[in-house]
Structure 1
Amino acid sequence: MSNRLSTEERLGRQSPQRLIRYFVMFMAVLYCGLGVFMWVAPATMLPLQPTVRHILGVVFIFYGIIRFVRAYRQMFSK
């Protein structure tokens, strides 16, 4: 099979897959930001016990890191 360019590549358009990858990266950063917010938010802002807030914050941060690493590997593996 020859190395033919796709229609999007010939016309200079961005493929929807590329936009989805950037959206996934953005969501990963958003999850990390939500985790940091839950960790440092004052108790009056979130009606949760401090230990629950800290645990949820750590879970969101780790989940965001995992999503970011997976998206980065998928995006730049070529």
Structure 2
Amino acid sequence: MLNRSTTEERLNSKSPQRLVQYFTLMMALIYMGLGVLMWLPMANVFALPTTARRVLGVVFIFYGIIRFARTYRQHFQRNNPRDAR
């Protein structure tokens, strides 16, 4: 007899969750990259004044950092019972 997994086992697999974790990390890096792109002089593609472009770039960078840290802490950091104190 073949050793096939049940539908419940396939639905509870962690592979889609793993994909979402890495997608969230990649989106955080994209936000940071967009923020850096806003700071570059060739970023006149966005048709914004220089000050507004730089402020928006800082917002994107900080948002990317916060999102990356939160995702890393939530999904990739190992939980240690001694750290819960």
For the aligned pair, the TM-score class normalised by the smaller chain equals 0.7 to 0.9
**What fraction of aligned residue pairs are identical, expressed as a percent?**
55
For these two proteins, the number of residue pairs brought into alignment is 69
1:63 maps to: 63
How far does residue 59 in structure 1 lie from its aligned partner after superposition? 0.1
CA deviation profile, 1:6-56 (whole Å, cap 9, x unmatched) = 835xxxx65211100000000000000000001114264231110000000
CA RMSD of aligned residues (A): 1.9
Distance 1:19 1:51, change over 3 A: same
TM-score w.r.t. the length of structure 2 is 0.71
- What residue ranges of structure 1 are gaps of 5+ in the alignment? 1-5
Give the 5 Å matches for 1:18-33. 18-33=18-33
How far does residue 76 in structure 1 lie from its aligned partner after superposition? 1.8
Distance 1:44 1:60, change over 3 A: closer
- What residue ranges of structure 2 are gaps of 5+ in the alignment? 1-7, 79-85
**Alignment of 1:15 onto 2:12:** no
TM-score w.r.t. the length of structure 1 is 0.76
Give the ranges of 4+ consecutive aligned residues of structure 1 lying more than 2 Å apart after TM superposition. Answer: 41-46
